[in-house]
Amino acid sequence: MEKRFNGLSSVGKMKRTSYYFKVWLKMSKNAFSMMLTHRAALYIFLFGKILRFGFFIAFLYFMLKGTQTLAGYTSNQVVFFFLSFNLVDVLAQFLFREVYRFRPLVVSGDLDLVLAKPLSALFRVLMGGADIIDLITIPPLIFAIYYVAGSLGPTFFQGLLYIVLILNGLLIATAFHIAVLSLGIITLEIDHTIMIYRDITNLGRFPVDIYRQPLRGVLTYLIPVGIMMTLPAKALMGLVSPLGVGISLGLAAAGIFLSLRFWNLALRQYTSASS
Amino acid sequence: MKKYFSVFKISFQQEFVYRLNFIMWRLRNVMQIFLVFFLWDTVFSDPKRVVFGYDREKILTYVFAILIVKAFVLSARAVDVAGDIARGDLTNYLLKPVSYFKYWFTRDISSKSLNLLFAAVEFSLLYLILKPPFFFQTNPLSLIAFVVSIAVAIFIFFTLLFIVSAVPFWAPGMGWGVHFLVTVIIVEFLSGSLFPINILPGNIYRFLLLTPFPYLIFFPIQVYLGNIEGFEFFRGLLTAVFWSVLLWFAMRAIWKKGLMAYQAWGR
């Protein structure tokens, strides 16, 4: 699919991208309609997510009231790290919720039906079911980020770099989700793998500076939670070097490349059992 | 009694069927401890610092104790009860000569035993890797009080879980949603498994002590640390026992009504 896409002219690529965008809109609309049929559950999950966010902010507020700083960062900076973590996390959950529903497809052999369609199977299983609950929480989150960022007094360039690095973080999250899907085909294990990914990224709720070496190194380069969650916030505060930005962009590109290779390898291992 | 012992044995063996799942679940527990440990490790990087009434030794002991107390209290198989009701599988148990509550309580104890074994190993490994200053309680009275408070906590969580799991009697599609809200969000934050709740302002802390949640994690650990003893311990224990009794009666009443509403959908 990737090779076929690369072989297209630029007009062809645009047409293909627009086609996929339309398919994504259609799939998202279907996913939203399905969720809206269980309104009570939707409200409970939405309330739960807002409550968890509120509890955590309250915890940070009261903790920092007593400690004043955390690893040298002020209260506003710590809150900004937390909000940036949430933005990457919520965006990834909104876009890639379908990954959580992948296991039954592989176990039942229904993945055959996805593979047989004239559409990238990866696209379908990765982005086939956007989450309306996360979508609802994105606008207030962006507003909160805008508000707290204002208190940190960034320059226009720092703001721009923040957006670029958030998108870069999202790219790394994409690579992780593709890797989880691939692992799911090989081992039939998704539920815990994706939750472990969530637990690891949760370590990015705070700046990775709080972790000791070698964990800090692991979280920066090996499992680049620091690059996904901490670096964008640091860029806005003017605390990153051009080299750091270059490395993070390189890591995201490498992550996407390797995860796609892993996906292709996993597909070759798919046995279509139970179908 | 013999049949419940068999349930215990079978349930224990069942945990080993999906070994990878179990190991992943334990790995997740360790990951969660990392966040809390390093957060407080950073806050208390100065060994002489005292914040919220804690010094470095006591706060890091609190973090390590979370691992053990969570294995005791929060690891439970009864989370599957909601699914049993929603799928109509409850019927299978209603036809058998077993008490459904006792059956799940036995399965819970089995799960706790296994989780505790693993938690002890993880505790030792993390202790060797992170080398935290650890407060060893030597007062036998505090240790007995700790065991008693753990026993009450186990009972409170069991009843709470069964009350939450009863929701599918009336709304089969809501089981996981309510679990997410109560056991994942509310219990996680208000029980003290992320931070000791006495870092909150006094009035909020005092209000929380009137709810059942702090008696799941926070109270037993405070008892272990020797921060709660004497009259304060008995007052806390009395509140915890009050909640156990209240939740027990509430659970029985809800289940009585639920069983009348039960339609064995899916059977």
For A229-244, the pLDDT digits (tens) are 999 999 999 999 999 9
Question: In this predicted structure, what is the pLDDT of residue A178?
Answer: 96
Search chain B and give the residue with CA nearest A45: B177
How far is the C-alpha of A246 from the C-alpha of A173, rounded, in Å?
18
* A130 phi, psi to nearest 5 deg: -60, 150
CB of A48 less than 8 A from some CB of B: yes
Q: Read off the pLDDT band of A2 (50, 70, 90).
A: low
Question: In this predicted structure, what is the pLDDT of residue A5?
Answer: 65
Site from A46, A60, A62 to mutate, B interface, most B CB atoms within 10 angstroms: A62
pLDDT digits (tens, 9 = 90+) for A103-148: 888 888 889 999 999 899 999 999 998 998 999 999 999 999 999 9
A-contacting residues in B 157-216 (Cβ below 8 Å): 171, 173-174, 176-178, 180-181, 184-186, 188-189, 194-195, 199-201
How far is the C-alpha of A65 from the C-alpha of A201, rounded, in Å?
26
Residues pairing with B177 in the sheet: none
Specify the DSSP class assigned to residue A67. Answer: H
The two tokens of residue A28 are 């998202």
CB of B1 less than 8 A from some CB of A: no
Average pLDDT score, chain A: 90
Are B32 and A196 within 8 A, CB to CB?
A: no
Q: Read off the pLDDT band of A195 (50, 70, 90).
A: confident
Chain A environment of B29 (Cβ under 8 Å): none
Residues pairing with A70 in the sheet: A73
Chain B environment of A206 (Cβ under 8 Å): 35, 38-39
Question: In this predicted structure, what is the pLDDT of residue B267?
Answer: 65
B18–chain A nearest CA distance, Å? 10
Q: Picking from A59-63, A71-75, A186-190, A205-209, which range would have the lowest pLDDT averaged per residue?
A: A186-190
B141–chain A nearest CA distance, Å? 32
Specify the DSSP class assigned to residue A73. Answer: B
Chain A environment of B25 (Cβ under 8 Å): 192
Where along chain B do its domains lie? 2-261
CB of B17 less than 8 A from some CB of A: no
Q: Tell me, what amino acid is at B151? A: A
B3–chain A nearest CA distance, Å? 32
How far is the C-alpha of A5 from the C-alpha of B3, rounded, in Å?
63
Q: ipTM of the assembly?
A: 0.86
Q: Look up the pTM and report it.
A: 0.88
The two tokens of residue B86 are 């929603």
Specify the DSSP class assigned to residue B74. Answer: T
Q: Is B261 exposed, middle or buried (0-12, 13-18, 19+ CB in 10 A)?
A: exposed
Percentage of residues of chain B with pLDDT beyond 90: 50
User: What angle do helix axes B56-73 and B218-225 make, rounded to 10 degrees?
Assistant: 130
pLDDT, average across residues A182-188: 87
Q: Read off the pLDDT band of B29 (50, 70, 90).
A: confident
CA distances (Å), origin B223, targets A197, B146, B203: 34, 6, 21
Q: Read off the pLDDT band of A175 (50, 70, 90).
A: very high
Q: Of B20, B60, B55, give the one whose Cα is nearest residue B38.
A: B60
Examine the pLDDT at A222 and tell me if it is beyond 90. Answer: no
pLDDT, average across residues B67-71: 89
Cβ-nearest to B42 among A205, A210, A215 = A210
Q: Read off the pLDDT band of A173 (50, 70, 90).
A: very high
Specify the DSSP class assigned to residue B51. Answer: B
Examine the pLDDT at A221 and tell me if it is beyond 90. Answer: no
Count residue pairs from A and B with Cβ separation < 8 A: 92
Search chain B and give the residue with CA nearest A62: B200
A16–chain B nearest CA distance, Å? 38
Residues pairing with B54 in the sheet: B51
pLDDT digits (tens, 9 = 90+) for A147-158: 999 999 999 999
The two tokens of residue B63 are 């973090």
Search chain B and give the residue with CA nearest A195: B28
How far is the C-alpha of A199 from the C-alpha of A211, rounded, in Å?
15
Site from A85, A194, A203, A225 to mutate, B interface, most B CB atoms within 10 angstroms: A203
Search chain B and give the residue with CA nearest A58: B200
